[in-house]
Amino acid sequence: MNEMVEIHVFGPLKRLFDPDASLSEDTIIKMPYLINETAEQLLRRLNLLNSDYGECFVNHTIVKDYSDLIPKNARVAIFSRGMLLIDGGLYLKKWKD
């Protein structure tokens, strides 16, 4: 069986993948897993520019180093740039451009 990466896209960014996407519905993209693919390479494979996305998570862990490898059957979450994320109600990310 082929290994896949499941990508969940949040916010207005989802309209890059589905122009008719509702912001309240899930947008999930499944892509084939590539051996030794980094988070940065996956984002490029999705044709995303740095200015398109904000926070990115792999298996519920925030990506701090985009040269980290994507594991088999990973769940990736990509948030639109400028979205404010609240983690347990204790952390608020403020964007600086």
Which tens digit of pLDDT belongs to each residue from 51-95? 889 889 999 899 999 999 999 999 999 998 877 665 543 333 443
Tell me the torsion sign for CA atoms 71, 75, 80, 84.
negative
Strands (E), 2-74: 4-10, 27-32, 53-58, 61-62
Where in the chain are the domains? 4-92
pLDDT score recorded for residue 39: 96
pLDDT score recorded for residue 23: 76
Which tens digit of pLDDT belongs to each residue from 6-55? 999 988 898 898 888 887 788 999 999 999 999 999 999 999 998 889 88
Q: What is the pTM of this model?
A: 0.81
**What is the architecture of the domain spanning 4-92?**
Roll (3.10)
CB 14 within 8 A of CB 81: no
CB 44 within 8 A of CB 37: no
Amino acid code (one letter) for 47: N
